[in-house]
Structure 1
Amino acid sequence: MIASVCITFFLTALLVTSAVSGAATVGTGSASASETGKPPVVQTVTYERTPDDPGRITVTVEYDLGPDADELVVFVPDNSTVTNAKGLSAKRDAEFRGYEWNEVTRNPVMTLTVPVNQTSSKFGGLNYVDVGAWTLFGGSHVVHTAYYSDSANDWFYTYRDTDRIAVHTRTASGGHVEEELGFLGGHTIHQTASSNRSFELIVPDAATMAASPRRHLATLTETARVLQIDDEEENVTVFVAPDPIRGGGLAPGPHSVWIHESASVESGVAVHEYAHTRQAYNSSKSMSWLDEASADYYASLVLYNQNATSYRTFRDKVTTSRDAEAVLAERDTWPSVYAEYTKGRRVLAALDAKIRKETNGNRTLQAVFRRLNEHSRSEPITYDVFQRVVADVAGTSLDGWLDSYVRSTAVPEVPDEPQLFTLPDPGLDADDDGLTNAEEREHGTDLFAQDSDGDDLTDVAEVQTHRTDPTVADTDGDGLNDAVELDELGTDPTASDTDDDEVADDEETRKYGIDPTDPDTDDDGLPDGDELRVHGTNPTARDADGDGTPDSEEITTEDSERGTDGERDPDGETSSTNQPRKPVVVGGMIVAFVSFWLTIITGGVGVTVVFLQYLDGKGIDVPDFVAGQSARRIGLLVALFVVLTVVGFLIVTQPSRLVGF
């Protein structure tokens, strides 16, 4: 039975380095930690450096077995050397290497040494190293355990059943050890927490960091807040790796990563490795590119949204042409090991933009990864699964699009739209200007610039205080910068003519030198606009010609010796503008002309009628219509003649008095 159990254990242990802890399998009648207060199996692991054996560490594993543990199997790393085994005997199987409990002592103990130094097969350089004074180790140090419970009729494992097998780690002479990584040597611990995740930063005494622990932790905390692709609430430990560890970083599991001491915040290394810890899915061979592509894309996107890097830097990263000839789904076509980073992040950037546009900004690529994380780890993510998930998120099939850029050498275009690539967090204020990203989208401002239009007024001040346009430096289009109008001139940046004198603020200040906030700069009773455009007077002087009479009086006095424009001709004569206005003169001449001819006609008719009636009185025959005229009608005709004569005389001689000028 033990042999079959060991095979089962070995197969499940293959998932340990990337699996997320799950719920225990509980059988009828078995005792768990929640029922007894103590887990059936307690495993304590102690790590220490071995100065006499450079490049290796010593691992001591101690067990405290409760009554529910009826069988126990210990799985040890293949490259380890067991130096002591109390209560445990070696069990070699064709598929794995392990030790079985002899079921005598309830406190079996095992001691082994494990090699540390490991070189990266992808990049070269050291992933882990023991330098004597300190040791950074990972991967091969993990000792896994499985136990069988007769009452539950089931097996339980360290990587999965945490309520039944408690694992405690410690160091013999200083250090910090997590499930996937450990450091032995002098160090300091820095901590912080976000709403759903806490972070520890382990900084060795030998490390010289390019960025402060505070900056790294602040960046990671904000990343955890906005990168919502899983629901796990757990601690993530980040180890800082000094030289001679290679540059970059490594994420061997969901709880621990290391970054090189030279990593700056702007490099995105910490965010990249953290993104790996959020990848709970298991990729198939054709989708293996997705892990590094997504980590690299989100490192670039998050830093851009945090304003740690510029949009141009972000765009340069996601539009690179490096490794363009790679077919992502076929690793053997990649021109370099970096293809999954370079072309991969470009394809994901274009896919993210595609999803955002297809859903009117309601969904992003994050929704794809959330669904991938919900996929069973026992079923790897294949290309077909990826296509289905993308279609579900986008609301339409993108199979053809994906075929073009994942299964061929074609390279997608990435839209050059800064606001398209923002994280879907309405409360995020990327530029820390007081306007949230959602508000900036509403007003069309730059999410990553506090003064979008460069007018020396912050966007929030323009929107909430001044009511000016935060996207245009000169809101009213009068030629004056909004800040200049507000801070220097006191004019209204939303009105091109603040004082309503029909002269634009820009002209008043730059061309004429008059007050743009006062419609009558010289207080002479004439609006500045009238002085400039009608009268031709100086709007900055009450008495333009210095004769002691204000311009307004000279212009409104009809018999003034000054012209309308308040100026005297060089020869001392009054200006022609002192004469009646041309329309009045012309009108008077027309009336005089008509009156003259009416006078002639009326007078002629009247004289003729009187003469003919005289003849009629003498007995001479005259026309009947004349003879029938009464004396009254003749009198009226004569009176009309007299009136027209007088009017005609006045129009010709005194036109200004007659028409009121």
Structure 2
Amino acid sequence: MLDQLPGFRTPAVLAVVVLAVLLTGGAVTLGALGPDVDDPGPSVESVSGNGTVTVTYVDATGASDQFAVPGVDPALSNAGHDWAIVNRSSLPSALRAVDGEPGHGVVGFGEWALVGAVETATVPIDGSTLTVVVPAGRDVDPARKAGFVEAFAGPYSLSPESDERVVLVSVPDALPNEGLMYHDDRGYVTIEAFWDGDAHSVWIHEYVHARQDFRTADGMEWFREASARYLSCRFMYEQYEGVSEADLRDSLSARPKYESVVLANRTTWEGTGGNYHAGARLLAAIDAELRAETGGEHTLVDVFRTMNAGDEPVTVERFVELVERQTGNDQSWIAAAIEGDRTALERNKRPS
């Protein structure tokens, strides 16, 4: 966890910083198994078994019922701590109806549902709210994770108008990705540490995904992963003294060059990581150009926010136009770089 990492002056200073974030931000931490007092709907009472998981719950009438889910990965359940992660389709309709609120003992995210005992923390952040949900007994403090996302990503306005409710569930690494955000702003993270150790944070990466309200045309699909990767690294560099400029630079340059990748052509990068890493390198160059041309007044965050304000899918041409709106001069090299001109980036590269 972040309080065990180098870069902070003293643990006491960190404790004060995080406490201030949680108090001023209004974060609430609470164990949640069963309904909130003001919302007496169906709720999970207990979870037992491994492999085949049995869930006891109370339905909307107050009657107790059970259902069993066979074939659950033992790494995704903990009878001792009263929780399991099951396929969402296995939930009875009564629980499906309330799986948006952890106060009912069930939290749906994508094709999965966490049922049973959880701890949660919620913080307001940039006009939205972020709730971190942790199964009981895991060595992850939801208040600290939510507080760190708010502290490091909160200073940046990513959307002009937002009432989003972002949910991140901390899960065991038996799920297939380090993190994944679904279209309804609910996702999971398998990494227990907040900081990846270079310049990246999966927690911030998935939060940025949740704030991507724009639509993209085919030639800009790469931007989703590239911007989540780059902005996560950039925010960590700017907000956390444990990440240096060299760390940021190394994180962006350490991966393969992906020389065959054409960002505008999905078939050249799908399944390769090129959209993440080659895309992030391009965005770093664009961000450096924005900062240099505007004396630091405008950054890629301004372009991201303007993309979120639009209704039409963002094309390559529209993206370049939004950058030019900030810089006030021609930035056609960006389109060339996206469309495969390998010399365009080097010709226009500025120190990041």
Normalising by structure 2, what TM-score?
0.68
Q: Deviations over 1:629-655 (max 9, x none)?
A: xxxxxxxxxxxxxxxxxxxxxxxxxxx
Q: Give 1:391 shift.
A: 2.5
Residues 115 and 397 of structure 1: is their aligned pair in 2 closer, same or farther, counting only changes over 3 Å?
Answer: farther
Residues 332 and 284 of structure 1: is their aligned pair in 2 closer, same or farther, counting only changes over 3 Å?
Answer: same
Quick one: distance in 1 between partners of 2:233 and 2:49? 42
Residues 258 and 357 of structure 1: is their aligned pair in 2 closer, same or farther, counting only changes over 3 Å?
Answer: same
Quick one: distance in 2 between partners of 1:58 and 1:143? 11
1:241-320 pair list within 5 angstroms: 241-246=171-176, 248-266=178-196, 267-306=200-239, 307-320=241-254
In 2, are the aligned partners of 1:169 and 1:178 still within 8 Å (CA)?
yes
Match of 2:121, SS state, is: strand
Match of 2:331 among 385, 390, 398: 398
Match of 1:187 among 86, 102, 118: 118
Runs (5+) with no aligned partner, structure 2? 1-40
1:448-467 pair list within 5 angstroms: none
1:105-184 pair list within 5 angstroms: 131=77, 133=79, 134-136=83-85, 168-169=98-99, 175-177=105-107, 182-184=113-115
Residues 60 and 368 of structure 1: is their aligned pair in 2 closer, same or farther, counting only changes over 3 Å?
Answer: farther
**How many positions carry a matched residue from both structures?**
291
Confirm or deny that 1:370 pairs with 2:302.
no
Identity across the alignment (%): 25
Q: Give 1:195 shift.
A: 6.4
Confirm or deny that 1:352 pairs with 2:291.
no
Q: Give 1:142 shift.
A: 9.7
Runs (5+) with no aligned partner, structure 1? 1-43, 64-110, 118-125, 145-166, 418-661
In 2, are the aligned partners of 1:237 and 1:257 still within 8 Å (CA)?
yes
Residues 138 and 344 of structure 1: is their aligned pair in 2 closer, same or farther, counting only changes over 3 Å?
Answer: farther
Q: Residue type of the partner of 1:226?
A: P
1:371-386 pair list within 5 angstroms: 371-376=306-311, 379-386=312-319
Residues 169 and 131 of structure 1: is their aligned pair in 2 closer, same or farther, counting only changes over 3 Å?
Answer: closer
Question: Could you say which structure has the higher helix fraction?
Answer: 2
Normalising by structure 1, what TM-score?
0.38
In 1, are the aligned partners of 2:157 and 2:301 still within 8 Å (CA)?
yes
Quick one: distance in 1 between partners of 2:284 and 2:91? 37
In 2, are the aligned partners of 1:363 and 1:393 still within 8 Å (CA)?
yes
1:208-247 pair list within 5 angstroms: 208-209=139-140, 212-230=141-159, 231-246=161-176
In 1, are the aligned partners of 2:50 and 2:77 still within 8 Å (CA)?
no
From the CA coordinates, give the structure whose radius of gyration is larger.
Answer: 1
Q: Give 1:289 shift.
A: 0.7
Residue 327 of structure 1 corresponds to which residue in structure 2? 262
In 2, are the aligned partners of 1:196 and 1:233 still within 8 Å (CA)?
yes
Q: Residue type of the partner of 2:338?
A: V
Quick one: distance in 2 between partners of 1:244 and 1:192? 27
Quick one: distance in 1 between partners of 2:330 and 2:101? 53
1:53-68 pair list within 5 angstroms: 54=52
Q: Residue type of the partner of 1:343?
A: A
Quick one: distance in 1 between partners of 2:129 and 2:179? 20
1:513-532 pair list within 5 angstroms: none
Residues 58 and 351 of structure 1: is their aligned pair in 2 closer, same or farther, counting only changes over 3 Å?
Answer: farther
In 2, are the aligned partners of 1:368 and 1:390 still within 8 Å (CA)?
yes
Q: Residue type of the partner of 1:291?
A: R
Q: Give 1:245 shift.
A: 2.7
Match of 2:342, SS state, is: coil
In 2, are the aligned partners of 1:173 and 1:185 still within 8 Å (CA)?
no
In 1, are the aligned partners of 2:126 and 2:156 still within 8 Å (CA)?
no
1:422-437 pair list within 5 angstroms: none
Q: Give 1:176 shift.
A: 3.8
* Between 389-398 and 297-306, the greater mean CA deviation after superposition: 389-398
Match of 1:226, SS state, is: coil
Quick one: distance in 1 between partners of 2:175 and 2:183? 18
